[in-house]
Amino acid sequence: MGAPAIPGVMKRGRPRSEQVERAILRAAGDLLTEHGLAAMTIEDVAARAGVAKTSIYRRWSTKGTLALDAFLADFLGSQPLPDTGNLENDLTAALRAWVRTVRGTPTGRALAELIAQAQSDPDLAVAWRERVVGPARAQHRKILEHAVARGEIPDTSDVEVLMDLLFGTAYHRLLQGHLPLTDRFVRRVVAVIVAGAKAGAAAPPTP
């Protein structure tokens, strides 16, 4: 209590209230869930949190980065790292967990709207890649590296492409909305990728 995280750079003046921070994130999360990102305004968040607008702007520069923090509070940890000793099972479990989290849920809509917002908000785009895309891919990379270690797929496989195939396909249906994210979809996507990877198609051709 009151002890500085880093002695010597102790801040002077009144410290920022953690309670204010929590109230803002909670209000933003609620509004994100109830009405979506596009309909969420900073003024609404402030009113709902019982906080002044300036207390929000002091912490976040754009609506997108605020929404990202509110989103991560709910989203982090919902994506497991399966390790069954079988690539197809692991990928199926990972994609199924993702589908369960996003299909027809406020989380799914928030996910889509955050990606949308990032197309015109460079700050959010950077934060999104660093705090969502990066960590998620690190998880999925492990699944593929385990498969390489087991000899299921060639060690020259382009794991980045394989990850793009798996989740790019799923994000496609989420964002375009042309077809539903069914379990059959999950199984077939995984089956094609695993078959292709095992055939060495994700590796450089050996002439």
Spatial separation of the C-alpha atoms in residues 162 and 47, rounded to whole Å: 45
Three-state SS string over 93-120 comes to: HHHHHHHHHHCCCHHHHHHHHHHHHHCC
When CB distances are held under 5 to 8 angstroms depending on the partner's kind, the choice from DNA, a copy of itself, none that residue 41 binds is: DNA
Q: Looking only at residues 48 through 107 of this chain, which bind DNA when binding is defined by CB under 7 A?
A: 50-55, 57-58, 62-63
Cα–Cα dist 77/92, whole Å: 18
**Cα 23 from Cα 47, distance rounded (Å):** 11
Q: What secondary structure letter does DSSP report for 37?
A: T
Please tell me whether residue 195 binds DNA under the rule CB under 7 A.
no
Nearer to DNA, 55 or 169 (CB): 55
Q: Choosing among DNA, a copy of itself, none, which partner's interface includes residue 32 (Cβ < 5 to 8 Å by kind)?
A: none
Query: Is 172 among the residues that bind a copy of itself (CB under 8 A)?
Result: yes
Applying CB under 7 A, among 12, 77, 119, 205 the residue interacting with DNA is: 12
Identity of the residue, 54 or 119, whose beta carbon is nearer to a copy of itself in the bound complex? 119
Binding-site partner at residue 42 among a copy of itself, DNA, none, CB < 5 to 8 Å by type = DNA
Q: Is 71 left (phi over 0), alpha (psi -120 to 50) or beta?
A: alpha
- Does position 38 interact with a copy of itself (CB under 8 A)? The reply is yes
Q: Which two tokens stand for residue 22?
A: 């929590």
List of residues 6+ apart from 20 with CB closer than 8 A: 49, 51, 55
Q: Which of 39, 18, 113, 119 is nearest to 71 (CA)?
A: 113
119 binds, among DNA, a copy of itself, none (CB under 5 to 8 A by kind): a copy of itself
In the chain, the amino acid numbered 64 is: G
Stretch that binds DNA, among 47-55, 90-98, 154-162, 180-188 (CB under 7 A): 47-55
Residue 206 interaction partner, one of DNA, a copy of itself, none, beta carbon < 5-8 Å per kind: none
Please report, as ranges, the residues that interact with a copy of itself according to CB under 8 A. Answer: 36-39, 112-113, 115-120, 125, 128-129, 133-134, 137, 158, 160-162, 164-165, 167-173, 175-179, 185, 188-189, 191-197, 199, 201-202
